[in-house]
Structure 1
Amino acid sequence: MRLTAKQITWLKVILHLAGLLPFIWLFWAASQGYFSADPAKDIQHFTGRMALKFLLASLLISPLARYAKQPLLIRTRRLLGLWCFAWATLHLTSYALLELGINNLALLGSELISRPYLTLGIVSWVILFALTLTSTQYAQRKLGRRWQFLHNFVYLVAILTPIHYLWSVKILSPQPVIYALLALGLLAWRYKKFRQWWR
Structure 2
Amino acid sequence: MNAWLAHRAAKPGAFLLAALPLCWLVFAAFADRLGANPAEALVRATGDWTLRMLCVVLTVTPLRTMASWPALARLRRMLGLWTFAYAVLHMLSYSWFDMGLDLGDIAKDIGKRPFILVGFTALALLLVLAATSFNRVIKAMGARRWQVLHRAVYVVAGLALLHFFWMRAGKNDFAEVLVYALILALLLGWRLRRFLNKKWL
Q: What is aligned with 1:93?
A: 92
For 1:56-67, list aligned pairs within 5 A.
Answer: 56-67=55-66
CA distance in 1, matches of 2:119, 2:107: 13
Q: What is the CA deviation profile of residues 122-167 of structure 1, one whole-angstrom value per residue up to 9, with x for unaligned ones?
A: 1110110000000011111111222111100000011110111121
Instruction: Answer yes or no: is the 8 Å Cα contact 1:187–1:194 preserved in 2.
Output: no
Q: Name the SS of the counterpart of 2:34 in structure 1.
A: coil
The change in CA–CA distance for 1:151 and 1:30 in structure 2 (over 3 A counts) is same
Aligned residue type for 2:117: T
CA distance in 1, matches of 2:189, 2:37: 36
Q: Does 1:22 align with 2:6?
A: no
Instruction: Answer yes or no: is the 8 Å Cα contact 2:115–2:167 preserved in 1.
Output: yes
For 1:42-191, list aligned pairs within 5 A.
Answer: 42-102=41-101, 104-144=102-142, 145-169=144-168, 170-171=170-171, 172-191=173-192
Q: How many residues align?
A: 194
> Which stretch of the first structure deviates more once superposed, 168-177 or 48-57?
168-177
Q: Name the SS of the counterpart of 2:154 in structure 1.
A: helix
Aligned residue type for 2:191: R
Task: For structure 2, list consecutive stretches of 5 or more residues without a partner in the other structure.
Answer: none
Aligned residue type for 2:3: L
Q: What is the CA deviation profile of residues 49-86 of structure 1, one whole-angstrom value per residue up to 9, with x for unaligned ones?
A: 11111111111111111111111111111011000000
Task: For structure 1, list consecutive stretches of 5 or more residues without a partner in the other structure.
Answer: none
% identical aligned pairs? 35
Q: What is aligned with 1:40?
A: 39
> Which stretch of the first structure deviates more once superposed, 168-177 or 132-141?
168-177
TM-score (norm 1): 0.89
Instruction: Answer yes or no: is the 8 Å Cα contact 1:117–1:164 preserved in 2.
Output: yes
Q: Name the SS of the counterpart of 1:3 in structure 2.
A: helix
CA distance in 2, matches of 1:85, 1:16: 14
CA distance in 2, matches of 1:63, 1:33: 40
Q: Name the SS of the counterpart of 1:190 in structure 2.
A: helix
